[in-house]
Every structure is written in structure tokens, then in C-alpha cells.
Amino acid sequence: MVYNILKQMISKYFLWTSVLILNILLFSSCLNSSDNYLLDRPTDPQIYAISLSSKTDSVGVLTDVSFTIDQINGEIFNKEPLPYLFHVDSISLSLSSSNTYFPFYKVELTLTGSPDDSTYIWNQLDSIALPRLKKIKTTSPDGLHEKTYQFKLGIYQSDPYIIDWNRIKDSYLAPPVGEHRTIAHENDFYTYYRSGSGIKAYSAPISENPEWTEASSLSGMPDNILLTSLITCGGTQYALTPSGAVYRSDNAITWNEVSTSYEVKAIYGELPFVTQGSVLLAVNDGGTLKFAKTSEAFSEIVLMNNIPENMPVTDFSALTVESSTVYANKFIFISGGKKADNTSNNDIWVLQESNGIITFFTSQKPDEGILEGSSLFFYDDQPYLITTTSTGKNLLMYSNNYGAEWSNAGENQAFPSEPVDFTARKYASVITDNNNNIWIFGGISLSDTQIGDIWKGRLNKFNQN
């Protein structure tokens, strides 16, 4: 009897002891569950992606904006500013941490205010007053580490697509001035002009206000050179004589005749789709005009397909285009000029090399604008074109689909009529430099007199960056 009672007491003791130990363990586990839960989470507080959206942003400007996250300096900003006058009051904000499955433990936002800034803990769901967002402070998913970012949203403060045109020089060539043509070589401008029966040249460093001097060391350029044929391919200049002789220069000063196996009728420019240094030509092959390509040294001319009868071979403007954003957008554009039968070309041609063949199409022509004496140039990753109108003015046009269609650049980019009038002209030389300036050199007035001035223009967006 005593033995049984003692046995029951010992069993109850061990039972209650086991229960007590289990409760202690469970209680301890509960106390530490939060810490263990957090300690298993990432320790990185950095923002790896950010996106904005707004119900009032009907065209999706915010969803397309690309933000730069500078982890070293703690900054979040957009390199390309948002459009002029863009505004939304509130946005939805999305922040991504280093791990898709673990959001930030805490996000604090600082908003600008009057008189003081305000900071609050954001629940990562509510909308945010975008114009006031100043700082974003994140805490890593484990709750132990923090990172603060300055938030800067760039918006154009004035219309970025205005071009401000200014006349830099009224006249910079010594009279008498005849036909002239300007090119850029390395860090200098060179203007070749017909003076009497000979050819002279002036040069100037490419700068905001170039100072011109006579290039007295010019040599080898024949008096009958066709200045409208003058073209730069890579770092080499070429020009033709009426008989089809080719002259080239590596420094824009010393010129030499090049021996060729065919009569060269036109030099269209550097082919952008083949090995660098290949030049596209029009040559006479036994009475048939054909495309051909050659090296910069003209060591060998390789015949290609026939040239269309209505394509220009003289007095045209040519432009080699290589897009910085779309690899396949590599073309040669041709405008104005005269065909082999000496009639005017009224099309804009777009050429491309493919498997040893030159393919081509003609653009949808502008509703207004005369292509004779037009000038092509590449600017802001788009081809531009200066034409003349039937009303005796110059019209600036551009194509945002690489030559398929052309549009009027509009009043924001129109040539000025005051305080200094932009004299309407043909055959102007147009050059863009590394500082996003557009340079227009001279040309021929609509009354067939030579113009010797210099104009410079620049998109307002480049002044604001």
C-alpha cells in the first residue's frame, strides 16, 4: 500500500515536472520567435528598383521613366527629365529590396513642407504627394540596418524642344566669294570657296565663336573641283571633278588624285552596315550606272546592283545615319540633287546595304518644301532636313521614324525673322558638333547670290542638362 502511494506520487512529480519544462520551453520559444523570424531575413537595406504610377498620368509618362539609384551617394534621380509642364499630385510608389520575398521592414518618407519638412512611416501602400517627396529611408527586412536616399525628380522647366538660333558671323570669307562648302575635320571647320578662278580655304577651331584664318597651305585641290560633291567619310575627305576624277585628303589641306578603275559619278558616303571605312559610290560600268563600294584608299572598287534611273548623282545632300539607340537603324539618306539626265530629284532616298546589295526606298515627301538645294543633318538621334518653300522661306523638317515620313519641326524650331532675319538659302553646309550645336554655313540665296554668314542653333533640352 505504501509502495503504491509512493509510486503514484513519483509519477505525478515527473508529470508535472515535464509539463513545467515544456511550458518553459514553449514560453521561451514564443519570446524569441520574433527575433528568430527577423534574423532569418536579409540584412540589405538598399533599394534595387523603383517605379511610379498615377491614375492621372493618362499617357503613362511615369511608368516609362527610368530612375538611376546611386547607392554610393544615396541618390535616386531620373537622368532624362520628364516633359515640360508635367504634373501629378499623387502617385503609387513601388520599391524593391534585394530579395523578392522579403519587403523592407520599414520605410520612412520625408516630404517638403512649410515651414518645416515632415517625416512619417509609410505603410508601402498609400499614395504619396510626388511634388513634395524629398527623402526615402529604408530599413532592411531584418529590421537592423538603414539606408537614406535623396529623391530628385527632374522635370523640364522650360520647353526642351525650342531651338534658339543666333547669327555668329555676318561674313567671314574674303571677297569675292563664289561657290563654297564647309566640312568638319577632327577639331576644326574648313570652308573651301571659289575665289576668281581658283580655290581657297579658311579654317577655324570648333568653338562657341570660331576665329577664322586663311588656310594658306591648301594644296592639290584642282580649280575645277565640284564643291557640291565634297563629302567626309570617317576622317577622310573626298571630292570629284566634272570628268569623274576622285580627289581625297586625310587632313583637309593636302589633296591628291586617286587612281580608279571606273569613272566615279557620285560619292554617297560611308556605308554604315559593313566594315568601317567602306564608301558607297555611283560608277559608270560600260554605260550603266551601278552602286559600288570601296575602301577609304580606293584600292579596289566592288560593283553592286544597278542604280535607279531617277536617283540623283550630282548636287545632292547625303547623310550617313547610325542610331545610338537602335542597332538596325543604319542608313544613307539622299535628298535634292540632279539625276543622270540633269533633271531635278524630287524624292528623299533611304539606302541600306544587305548581303552585297543596296536596297532603297523613297520617303513620304513633305507636304511643303522644295528639295532642290536641301541640306540633311543628324541631330538629337533624328535626321533633319532644311528645305525651301514656295513662299521664299526655309523650312526645318525632321523624321522620327528614320526617313519613312517627314514632319514640319514647327514654330519652336523655325528660323528667325527678327531681330536678325535668316536669309532663305539653298545648298547650305550644316554640321553638328559634340556639344549639340547645329552650325549652318552660308549657301546660295533664292536670287542666286552667295551668302557668307554663319548661324548656330541648339535645342533647349541640352542647355538644361
pLDDT tens for each residue of 187-224: 999 999 998 888 999 999 999 999 999 999 999 999 99
213 vs 200: CA distance, rounded Å? 11
35 assigned to some structural domain: no
| Residues of the chain falling short of pLDDT 70 | 1-39, 273-277, 324-325, 327-328, 464-465
Q: Are 81 and 110 in contact (CB under 8 A)?
A: no
2 assigned to some structural domain: no
Q: Are residues 308 and 376 in the same domain?
A: yes
- pLDDT one-digit tens code per residue, 330-380: 899 999 999 999 999 989 999 998 888 999 999 877 777 889 999 999 999
Q: Are residues 412 and 336 in the same domain?
A: yes
Among 123, 152, 181, identify where a domain stops: 152
**pLDDT for 434:** 94
Q: Are residues 135 and 182 in the same domain?
A: no
36 assigned to some structural domain: no
Q: Are residues 122 and 247 in the same domain?
A: no
Range of the domain at 92: 49-152
Q: Are residues 142 and 169 in the same domain?
A: no
Among 125, 152, 179, identify where a domain stops: 152
Q: Are residues 54 and 177 in the same domain?
A: no
Q: Are residues 132 and 173 in the same domain?
A: no
Q: Are residues 292 and 358 in the same domain?
A: yes
Query: Within 10 Å of residue 400's Cβ, how many Cβ atoms?
Result: 11
Q: Which amino acid is at 208?
A: E
32 assigned to some structural domain: no
Of 132, 123, 149, which is closest to residue 88 (Cα–Cα)?
132
**pLDDT for 275:** 57
67 assigned to some structural domain: yes
**pLDDT for 5:** 42
398 assigned to some structural domain: yes
- Domains in the chain, number: 2
Q: Are residues 206 and 353 in the same domain?
A: yes
227 vs 460: CA distance, rounded Å? 33
Let me know how many helices (H) and strands (E) the chain has, helices first: 3, 34
Q: Who contacts 87 (Cβ-Cβ below 8 Å, separation ≥6)?
A: 131, 155
Q: Are residues 298 and 378 in the same domain?
A: yes
Q: Are residues 211 and 341 in the same domain?
A: yes
19 assigned to some structural domain: no
Pairing of strands 75-78, 146-152: parallel
Among 152, 187, 206, identify where a domain stops: 152
**pLDDT for 403:** 86
Q: What is the CATH number of the domain that holds 364?
A: 2.120.10.80
DSSP string, 53-99: E-TT-TT-HHHH--EEEETTTTEEEESSPBPTT---SEEEEEEE-SS
Q: Are 262 and 283 in contact (CB under 8 A)?
A: yes
379 assigned to some structural domain: yes
Q: Are residues 350 and 276 in the same domain?
A: yes
